[in-house]
Chains A and B, each alone.
Chain A
């Protein structure tokens, strides 16, 4: 392992890997990426693999929009010999309550003003997109054809391998154990394989972002929470878009492989690091999904698992540096949508590190917003 680097990234998920690639692309090639297990072991490899730009806040819309633009050409850009399996068959977001229908009207107006081609649909129009959908009790839906699916494993591996070819050292099975500071500046990172002198450290540790931030004395206002998910056996194409409901708290999408992935956002779930699976989830998930998509009844569940959301008070990530801690940057608190924002975030963080103005304005996404009380809560989350 290198004993000196220009930057050390903590976290080998999609965020850390995207930052590694973008840093190298900016010319910062003496970079070490630390990951205590292997790529995609934290939240990335456990996520629902959805990618959308239908958000309720302008910041999330802009970050997601630029990311989708990047996903469209990512396999080529990264020179990946595999396939990141990006497909754009849309997100169909269902409205079952008056409150969410009113919110969706605002969301679509905002999205359209930013150039996102989402639209409001009647239940009948929604059924044309997903003919097997039970529209009973539905008030309407929103749909955006640019949303879709992407494979988190291949995306992360593609970023990591491209970074490695540009000179980044990928140190899997190596844990960051401490960050050394001198006179308010980052000077080194201690790891289970030795110490690396570096003026820059980037916290991309996903669910472990809080303990990593503590290494430089930063207290992140985030908590972790289990979200459960399952995959079925593969079947022929029956659902094109991601079908999602915020009021019911579920999402369900068929992957290009043919399997159907579905999950629940259960707000009663205790905070913590439990990533076990429960039969109660299987039962609740199946009951909800069979009400919306009854024909899935005969499909078999092959696998269930869970992952952690790292949630901030406003469901927006915390990006950038912290005043008074020279050389420390963070890309944390993605609140369940880090995978789909990774292309934008990797570029933004690398631009900050080299002293450029980020290509997307991240004013208000800094840590200081929580103290200032300037929170605009994202309404559209599962």
Chain B
């Protein structure tokens, strides 16, 4: 079956995943931009792109390139998104065992202890 160029490009956009953590497609990104999104944070707020476990390490540059192309600006002029800790996903159980003071080495390491209220 032969498809028109337009059909083909829209199919391609639907199939291109830009944010792998949150399954966001190129088509969705372009629609958000068409609706008025001009920054990476706006795309993130509307589509969750960059909110998954990798926190945008893969999609950030792809999204910046899309925005730059649409706005006719260099990629360097696209406002950087907000970066949030932790740098890597970390289990709740593990953070609950963080010691009071790393330097003293004798802090509270009990998962049950330390609630301060």
Contact = CB atoms under 8 A, between A and B. Distances in A.
Are A and B part of the same complex? yes
A297 B42 CA distance: 32
Given A286-B95, A303-B55, A161 B116 contact: no
Contacts of A157: 45-46
B85 A283 contact: no
**Among A170, A248, A288, A301: residue with most chain B CB under 10 A:** A301
B39 to A, nearest CB: 6
Interface range on chain B (Cβ under 8 Å from partner) = 20 to 34
B91 A282 contact: no
Contacts of B35: 161
Interface in A239-280: 248-249, 257, 277, 279
Given A157-B46, A283-B95, A283-B114, A301 B90 contact: yes
B32 to A, nearest CB: 10
A299 B92 contact: yes
A249 B92 CA distance: 18
A304 interface: yes
Nearest to B86: A301
Contacts of B76: none
A94 interface: no
B55 to A, nearest CB: 7
Given A233-B89, A301-B86, A302-B89, A283 B96 contact: yes
Contact of A300 (B46, B85, B90): B90
Nearest to A259: B51
Given A279-B98, A302-B89, A284 B115 contact: yes
A370 interface: no
Interface in B54-107: 55, 82, 84-86, 89-93, 95-96, 98
A145 interface: no
B92 A291 contact: no
Contacts, number: 94
Contacts of B39: 38
Nearest to B42: A38
A39 interface: yes
Nearest to B54: A302
A302 B48 contact: no
* Best-surrounded residue of A41, A232, A296, A303 (most CB of chain B within 10 A): A303
A297 B91 contact: yes
B46 A304 contact: no
B112 interface: yes
Nearest to A152: B45
Contacts of A248: 117
A288 B115 contact: yes
A302 B88 CA distance: 7
A277 B96 contact: no
Given A153-B45, A154-B46, A233-B53, A301 B93 contact: no
A298 interface: yes
Interface in B1-47: 35-36, 38-39, 41-42, 45-46
B62 to A, nearest CB: 20
A153 B115 CA distance: 33
A157 B41 CA distance: 13
A287 B117 contact: no
Given A38-B42, A302-B55, A303-B55, A289 B92 contact: yes
Contacts of B82: 305
B96 A287 contact: yes
A290 interface: yes
A45 interface: yes
B112 A300 contact: no
A334 B82 CA distance: 25
A298 B95 CA distance: 11
A341 B66 CA distance: 36
Contacts of B53: 233, 300, 302
A300 B82 CA distance: 20
A222 interface: no
A279 B99 CA distance: 11
Contacts of B98: 279, 282-283
The 5 closest A-B pairs by CB, nearest first: A297-B93, A300-B89, A286-B96, A153-B45, A286-B92
Given A277-B85, A287-B111, 15 more contacts: A38-B42, A233-B89, A249-B117, A283-B96, A284-B115, A286-B96, A287-B96, A287-B113, A287-B114, A290-B111, A297-B92, A297-B96, A302-B53, A302-B89, A305-B84
Interface of A: 38-41, 45, 82, 153-154, 157, 161, 170, 172, 231-233, 248-249, 257, 277, 279, 282-284, 286-291, 296-305
